[in-house]
Amino acid sequence: MIADRVIEYLKGPGSKIPETALETALHRIGDSLITNMGERQDSTRRIKRPRPSASWACGREMVLSSLGLGTEGYGWRSRMTFAAGDYNEAVGILLFRQALATTGEDHLILTPNAAGDQLELDATLDPAAWGVEGTPFRLTGHVDMTIRGLSGDEEPVDWKGVATYTWEQMMQAATKPDHEWWKKEASGYVAQVRWYQILLRAQGRSDARRGYLVGVNKNTGLLAEVAIDQDPDAERLLIQRAVWVREKIHAAWKKRGEVMGDGLFAPGGNWHDYADQVDEDGAIVKPGGTRETDEELSEWVRQNVPRASFAASIAVPRQNVKLPDGEKGDCLELDMKADPQAFRCSYCDHTARCWPGFEVVPLTKPVWRKAVAATSTTP
């Protein structure tokens, strides 16, 4: 529905791009360049709330992000790849708008509007509505694009720049409901679209029984489109996940209150309570902290919040890695063969806190490892 229209447009003579559409796309790309290529923002302490696009596959990442610890360097590869992803999103929306305009159907794109404003979703979700026990929680997020779908409903669309491997998986998964990709992305790409569907419904905008992912192959330019239909069981699992994460964040902030003693702990327990605290002048309170308090909190998280299941594999002795003393020895590696998703860890903001001492080594196939003096299975 989306990819086909874009391909049809690109195969044809094309059409003049209106000034506003061009400005919108350039504005999106410009914002991304400023964020990813400009002044580094990782010197600040920032609390990141769970959002639809968060790493639902890894509760540890979400808890660490919620604490506003001194962040580690935003990896240079992340800066490159995230900017490329934003470019694909901006161009994808532009192309779909151009494609629809050739048949006078551009009104089917509901958001972003002509000025490029994305739809902001914001709702408090009560787990009881999904038969799940837990405290209501608030979720906010921006959606790349919403369209008037075939059913007449407003439906969310998320654009992704993807590698060939993921593109191939998306192509296969589009017609195979039992493809492994669905399981793998249940807490990733698919979760993000499901959250948008949930929030559109919670805001009373739409029944949102369908959403879409459009993957742009970063190497070949080929497009893959996956329709995601409402699935009550999958939604229930997501709500359960959110309740679990909320409890972990609550516990982490309780610990933070003890360690920091700065009165920032909000017993209400909603993640928005932690990030929205303002001082008497209305400025958002910056979470303070020192290297020592950061380390104490990180250790608490390491002890109390498990890593993502995809990151569980470890320990590949190689016996040829240069050790800190210059000798050759063993190393521990994240085992990408056991689960290729494990490489996701290398894009995480908290790699050093989660895997102290590990680094990415760009061999023919990059490995992620830490040299150790003797073979061990303990990271």
Contact 200, 254 (CB under 8 A): no
The residue among 58 and 94 lying less far from ligand SF4, judged by its C-beta, is 58
218 scored as a contact of ligand SF4 (CB under 6 A):
no
> What's the min distance (Å) between Cβ of 271 and ligand SF4?
17
The residue among 95 and 354 lying less far from ligand SF4, judged by its C-beta, is 354
Rounded to 10 degrees, what is the CA torsion of 309, 310, 311, 315?
A: 110
> What's the min distance (Å) between Cβ of 75 and ligand SF4?
11
Site string for ligand SF4, 62-91 (x = CB under 6 A): --x---------------------------
- Which of these segments, 53-61, 85-93, 98-106, 269-277, binds ligand SF4 (CB under 6 A)? 53-61
| Largest Cα span, the chain | 69
180: burial class by Cβ within 10 Å (0-12, 13-18, 19+)?
Answer: exposed
61 scored as a contact of ligand SF4 (CB under 6 A):
yes
Residue 353 zone, left/alpha/beta (φ > 0; ψ -120 to 50; rest): alpha
> Strand pairing of 210-217 and 154-162?
parallel
> What's the min distance (Å) between Cβ of 334 and ligand SF4?
9
Q: Of 86, 97, 45, nearest to 66 (Cα)? A: 45
Other CB atoms within 10 Å distance of the CB of residue 16:
9
Total residues binding ligand SF4 (CB under 6 A): 15
- Which of these segments, 98-106, 209-217, 249-257, 344-352, binds ligand SF4 (CB under 6 A)? 344-352
How far is residue 322 CA from its own chain's centroid? 34
Site string for ligand SF4, 290-309 (x = CB under 6 A): -----------------xx-
Q: In what order do the strands lie in the sheet with 109-111?
A: 109-111, 145-148, 154-162, 210-217, 223-229
334 scored as a contact of ligand SF4 (CB under 6 A):
no
Does the bond joining 366 to the residue before it have cis omega, within 30 degrees of 0?
no
Other CB atoms within 10 Å distance of the CB of residue 74:
17
351 scored as a contact of ligand SF4 (CB under 6 A):
yes
* Positions 12 through 41 that interact with ligand SF4 (CB under 6 A): none
Q: Of 146, 191, 155, nearest to 52 (Cα)? A: 191
173 scored as a contact of ligand SF4 (CB under 6 A):
no
User: Binding ligand SF4 by CB under 6 A: which of 238, 348, 367, 372?
Assistant: 348
> What's the min distance (Å) between Cβ of 57 and ligand SF4?
8
Token digits of residue 123: 């709702």
User: Binding ligand SF4 by CB under 6 A: which of 6, 21, 54, 58?
Assistant: 58
3-state secondary structure of 290: coil
User: Binding ligand SF4 by CB under 6 A: which of 5, 49, 60, 241?
Assistant: 60
The residue among 174 and 360 lying less far from ligand SF4, judged by its C-beta, is 360
- The C-alpha atoms of residue 5 and residue 243 are separated, in whole angstroms, by 39
Q: Which residues here bind ligand SF4, judged by CB under 6 A?
A: 55, 58, 60-61, 64, 307-308, 311, 344-345, 348, 350-351, 354-355
